[in-house]
Every structure is written in structure tokens, then in C-alpha cells.
Structure 1
Amino acid sequence: MSASSDTLPQLSQAPPAAEDPVPRIVPVRRTGQWVAATLVALLLAGAVTSVVRNDAFQWGVVGDYFATTAVLRGLGLTLWLTAAVMVLGFALGTLLAVMRMSANPVLRAVGWGYIWLFRSTPILVQLLFWFNIGALYPQILGVRTVNLLGPVTVAIIGLTLHEAAYAAEVVRGGILSVGRGQIEAAESLGLGRWRRLRRIVLPQAMRSIVPPAGNMLIGTLKGTSIVSVIAVQDLLYSVQLVYHRTYQVIPLLLVATIWYAAVTSVLSAGQHYIERHYARGAR
């Protein structure tokens, strides 16, 4: 028996569900950071304005001597010394790193002793020692030491031996960063020790070697200024010769400072791209 539609209770339709409001992301207020950044920017702008507008810096004199022949000649010698010391230092440092990791206890002891000695002695003392080596050995192979070891040669020897001690630890740390499994896989392929080092270990170790090596390069560039104490006419010694004659110490030191900063910036940019090259596949 069917009930008529009039007698059926009228079912009330459910009200439509209210739409959820779209969530709105409210950025975190960083008032303190903006205030600090503004203060730092104002202080920096004030410092730059003070330096630029201070007549005591003698910026006109800086411009006059910035690209003179004497300064550029000193800059060239500084760059040449830096390149020679880094190449020779890392060549000797790589050999020392291999000696330190050798299975031969004599080679390990010699490598460790070299690194200990040259890292324990100030570079200035080493340079002065080599500069006065004629007092100990007036002749070497029948040649007078004064004629054999000039100031530039002494600078190369002293800086190279000093840098090699640090380069050895940089290279050793990079080699130790390579997984043991890589070396075992190379051994299973029958590769000799030197070939494993050259083809397997060093390419992977470069990711760990390049950053500290870049820091060493920049440090060597600035560290070459110490050779001015043995009368090597690098960048610093060249500007010293000028201000000893003109008594314009501050502007000539600014010339050297700007050149060091410019070359360091170029080296830092090169280090960035080299690091990115060796980091391929590691990220």
C-alpha cells in the first residue's frame, strides 16, 4: 500500500557546505633584522663617504702612482713569485703527502719531520736564514753562495719550502677524503699504485683540495710582501721606494692595498668556478 506524496514527511534539504577559506600565508615580521640592516648600511655609507672625502688619503696621488712603471713592475714580480711558489710548493707538497702515507717507516718519518720543522718556524726566520746561508756555506759546487743565491732565488726557496709543508697536509687531507671502496675497486682492476693515485684518487680528492688550496694561493699572494725585508722589489717594496723619496706614505700604501685587493678578487672568482667544476656529480 503506497502512501501518497502528501502524507510523506517533507525531507528538508541539507544546507550547502560552506567553502573553506583559502589559507593566507602571513610573512613573519622581521623588524629587528631590517633595523639592523639599516644601521649597518648607514654606518657603511658613512665610512665610505669619510674615506672618499678625507683629503688626508690624497686620492689624487693614488691615481698618479697607481699604474706607474715601478708599481707595475713590482706587481709583475709579485704575481710571478706567487705562481712559481704555488707550483713548486704543491709539487713538493704532493711528494711529501705520499711519503707521509707510505708504508715505509723511514719515508713516513722524513715526511713528518719536514712538515713539523717548516710549520714550526716563522717564514721570516726562514727567509733570513736562507739569505744568510753564505755564513755557513760560502761555496756550493765551487760557486760562491753570494753569486748563486740572489734575493729573488732566496725568496723562491724560502717561500716554496714553507708552502710545501702546508700543501702536503692539504693534499693528504684530500686523499684521505676519498672512500676506501674507490681504492679497492681500482686495485681489483689491476691498476698500479701511481696510476690509482693519478687516475682515481686525485680527481676525487680535488673537491677537498681546491678550497684550502685557493686560500693558500691568496695567502701566498699577500705573503710575498714579506720578501721586501730582503730587498726583493715586489709590489710592497716598489711603493716603499717611492714613499721613501716622496714621504707620501698613506697614498702609496693605498696603491699597494688596492692592487692586492683587485688581484685577490680575481683569484677568488677563479676559485669559485674551479670548485664548481670539481663539485659536478657530488650534489
Structure 2
Amino acid sequence: MQLFANKVAVVTGAASGIGLGLARHCAREGMQLVLADRNAEQLLGVTDELRADGAKVVAVTTDVSDPRALDTLADAAYKAFGQVDLLINNAGVLISGLSWERPPEDWQWILNINLMGVVHGLHSFVPRMLEQDTPGHIVNVASLAGLLAAPLMGPYTVSKQAVVALTETLHYELASIDAKLKTSVVCPGPISTGIANSGTSRPVTSTVAREANSELMSFLETGIEEGMPPAECARIIFEGIRKEQFWIFTHDDFKDSYKARADSVIESTNPEYQIYVTQE
């Protein structure tokens, strides 16, 4: 996908963080927007901002964990604009804690949003995008955790590694039918967003876990606070879309860690955890 002006973009999780950066970038590219987020108030604020700048925007309050909500979003997009050219499955949340102490409800919560939200997006949009028979692009936002595991990040890591696997599978499937749709998976490093606070309503319980989790969240919050601005992240993602890159990385300095993990797999050595810190 090389040209974006007057094309239609759908962005989930569009009211904050990376999603907001992407929505603003889409508008600057002259795209028509369908924005989704579960926070209706924030979504309205973003919609008003972009409309004031001249963008055509449809906003739909959406819980991506509900497949019917994604059908509603797709219906709204096609009713408003008659097509979708760029689908960005971005909505995501984060919780941390010891894997065996997080109750099944917490695992299900994060998987329903981070993984099933992408599945629902594909199910609702891909058939219609294929029927258009026009060039298009699907972007699934994963994380550096999609390729690297870390302690206390079990539910998040599992969900993001699943998104990577799902997107790679989708890439092969679309290629096998000579579809005009291309795919990308984004594995961002630290981006300045509020994701570290998204799971605060689901606190850890044991004393040991709370202490370890407090240290981790402090580390994450500092790294995220000092992270790349969402606007720069969006620029990199669009650069990758233009090049039809499958893998899109925001921080190249993590590639040594990706390679070390791949080497460990090939050489059958036991994994050793190192704190992954960007040099930027």
C-alpha cells in the first residue's frame, strides 16, 4: 500500500497511546477514519480533535473482546465509507505477576483483549476486504514481548506471542490465495503510553508477588514514560506499510536479543533472562 489519501483506515484502541498516534498520522495522510475504543469519553475527544483539523471520522465505542462489537464496527465502517483499506488491530492491555498466581479470570481477560480482539477484527473485516479485491493492508500490533519472554509477564507475553504467530499464519494464508491484502506485525519497544496502568484494577495478591511486581511495574513505568513518542512510532509503522514489511520494529537495538533467543533455540541451550533495555 503506497497511497493513503482518501483511503479508509480502521484503528482499534484509538483513544490513547499508539492507537492515538496512529489515528493522528492517518489523518495527516489524508485518510478517512473509523476509530474504535472502549473509552467513549476519550474517543469523543479524539474524534472532535481530528474533525476540527478537517478529517472525516466515524467513532464507534468498541470492546474488542466482544465479537459482536467488531461486527458492529465493520458495519459502521462500510456504511460510512463503503470500503476499508487499512485495518490496524492495536487495542491492548497489560497485567503482570507470577504466572501461577494470576487467576484464570485474569488470564482470560488479557487474552480476550490482546489476542481475541485481533481474531475478532480479522473475522469481521478480512472477508469484506477480500471481497473488495483492492490493495489493502492489515497491521497487528504485538510487542517486543511477542519475541522475548520475561518473568512476571506471563499473560501479556503469551497473548503477544500468539499475536505474532497469528499474523505470520495470516501472511501465509493471504499469499496462498494471491490476495491483494498485505500484513505486518508490529513489535514495539518502549513507547510513551499508559499501558502499564491498564491492569491496576486487577491487583496481585501474595506479598512476594506484590513486592516483585512493584519493582517490575516501576521499571516498566520509567521505561515507558521515557519511551518513544507515539507519533514517532506511528511514522515508523507507516514507513513499514509503504515498504510492505511483515516485521516492523520501533527499536533496532533489541534485535541482538531476538538473535540471542533464536540462537538459543537452534543450539538447544537453556534460556537465560536478561533485562532488555533500549539504548535510546
* Interval containing the TM-score (normalised by the shorter chain): under 0.3
TM-score between the two structures when normalised by the length of structure 2: 0.26
Higher relative contact order (CA 8 A, sep 6+): 1
Q: Which structure has more helix as a fraction of its residues?
A: 1
